[in-house]
Amino acid sequence: MHPKLIGLEETFSESVLAKINDAMLDQYGIELWLKRDDLLHPVISGNKWRKLKYSLNHALALDAETVISMGGAYSNHLHALAYIGNITGLKTIGFIRGEQPETLTPTLTDMQNWGMELRFISRSDYRILRQYKDWFDLPGFKRGQYWLPEGGAQTLALKGVGELVREIEIPYDIACVSCGTGTTLAGIVDAIPAHISVMGFAALKNAGFLLNDVHQLLSRHCNNWRINLDYHFGGFAKTNIELLSFINDFELRTLIPLEPVYTGKMMYALYDLIRKHHFRRGQRIIAIHTGGLQGKRGWKDCQNRN
């Protein structure tokens, strides 16, 4: 790995595996563990480092000076990228979906303070950017630039996510993860033994496209994974009272923080499916806490996050 990334990696903690103690789980005979990737780093959000690590290593190996990517006004991906850019000296540019808000979100403020150049673009231009997948794909590409597709969704991301799987040292039956682009899920499927099932939970509405995207990312055919599309709560970053009060109760009982965009929806779904006898007694589930807690800041002031 590039020395600049080795230095950064030294600021990471080891990931913790925490058993959830909950009478409800005992009642159904289910053991639920959380892999706390949210605790990996004080600033960089859980799975974002996993996904960025080898892509940025590639960028540095190519002597890239500028890394360009895209995301929303609360993007955990751009937030992590801006921070890493600041530490490693890589210049960063972020295409942000939608008009520039009157006051920047806490996420955008951090990104700007870390030196990321923010370029606000229309939703239709944003959609167009989604089609560029390879690092040299961006129209007007110049030497020294490196393009990262939305959410860091590229094959190199799988390698970093695989490291998460290899850190799990206890036997288990099912791994669960929230899905945005499905890249983290693909990395888990790629690295996990075939007898373990992987369940993804889509954070977006109409996310059927994820099945194809994950197939595209995987280097070989695997049939031990599924994506549940039922717990989107109306769409990306949409919530309701039921979800928010579930998160609140969970946090009070376990002292483990969740956010409502990804991990909160996954945990809600898991609890609901356990109650509906979706799992067999005696099964051990490991859910990945992918982090994302920075995006929770300023949540209350925002009427329309999408």
Ligand X SMILES: *Cc1c(COP(=O)(O)O)cnc(C)c1O
Contacting residues toward ligand X, per CB under 6 A: 45-47, 76-77, 151, 178-185, 262-263, 290-292
- A 10 A CB-CB count for 17 gives 14
Nearer to ligand X (CB atom), residue 28 or residue 46? 46
For the bound state, the minimum distance from the C-beta of residue 144 to ligand X, rounded and expressed in Å, comes to 27
User: Taking CA 126 as the corner, what is the angle to CA 187 and CA 204, rounded to the nearest 5 degrees?
Assistant: 50
For the bound state, the minimum distance from the C-beta of residue 79 to ligand X, rounded and expressed in Å, comes to 9
Cα–Cα separations (whole angstroms), residue 159 to 76, 154, 189, 299: 19, 10, 11, 32
Nearer to ligand X (CB atom), residue 228 or residue 290? 290
DSSP labels for 85-116? HHHHT-EEEEEEESSPPSS--HHHHHHHHTTP
Residue of closest CB approach to ligand X: 292
For the bound state, the minimum distance from the C-beta of residue 207 to ligand X, rounded and expressed in Å, comes to 10
Structure tokens at 293: 């807690």
Nearer to ligand X (CB atom), residue 28 or residue 188? 188
For the bound state, the minimum distance from the C-beta of residue 162 to ligand X, rounded and expressed in Å, comes to 13
Helix (H, G, I), strand (E, B) or coil at 94: strand
Give, to the nearest 10 degrees, the angle between helix 76-88 and helix 46-61.
Answer: 50
For the bound state, the minimum distance from the C-beta of residue 48 to ligand X, rounded and expressed in Å, comes to 6
Nearer to ligand X (CB atom), residue 88 or residue 181? 181
Nearer to ligand X (CB atom), residue 28 or residue 74? 74
What sign for the dihedral angle of Cα 47, 53, 54, 59?
positive
Cα–Cα separations (whole angstroms), residue 147 to 58, 141, 208: 11, 9, 26
For the bound state, the minimum distance from the C-beta of residue 134 to ligand X, rounded and expressed in Å, comes to 18
- A 10 A CB-CB count for 166 gives 9
Nearer to ligand X (CB atom), residue 28 or residue 106? 106
Nearer to ligand X (CB atom), residue 138 or residue 266? 266
For the bound state, the minimum distance from the C-beta of residue 29 to ligand X, rounded and expressed in Å, comes to 28
Helix (H, G, I), strand (E, B) or coil at 278: coil
What span, in angstroms and rounded, lies between the C-alpha atoms of 198 and 259? 21
What span, in angstroms and rounded, lies between the C-alpha atoms of 48 and 204? 18
